[in-house]
Amino acid sequence: TKSIDNIGEKNTVTHDKYRFLNEDSSPQSDPFRAWLASRISTALNISNNADNGYFHPIPQGSCKFCKVRNICDVRMEASF
């Protein structure tokens, strides 16, 4: 069995950038968890804004993959 400890390079890039809001300048928490909390918070904010009508779709080629394209008023119907 191979160990995953030898994969990649360990660094501390996230240690200074991602912290929980209530932490001081020398946090003891896991920076990955702080990063994950940040991503989840961002996704929830985007979802809430879309639910409240703050959504301005821009038609583009990826519209063909969108799950709500059938009810979208600005979808691309063909490539230009």
Q: In whole angstroms, what is the distance from residue 59 CA to residue 69 CA?
A: 10
Query: Would you write out the chain's pLDDT as a tens digit for each of its 80 residues?
Result: 667 777 788 777 777 778 877 777 776 778 888 889 889 999 999 889 888 888 787 888 887 788 877 777 776 666 54
Domain boundaries, the chain: 10-71
User: Residue 55 in contact with residue 67, Cβ under 8 Å?
Assistant: no
| Alpha-carbon span 46 to 14, nearest angstrom | 23
- As a whole number of angstroms, the distance between CA 46 and CA 40 comes to 10
Distance between CA atoms of residues 41 and 33, nearest Å: 12
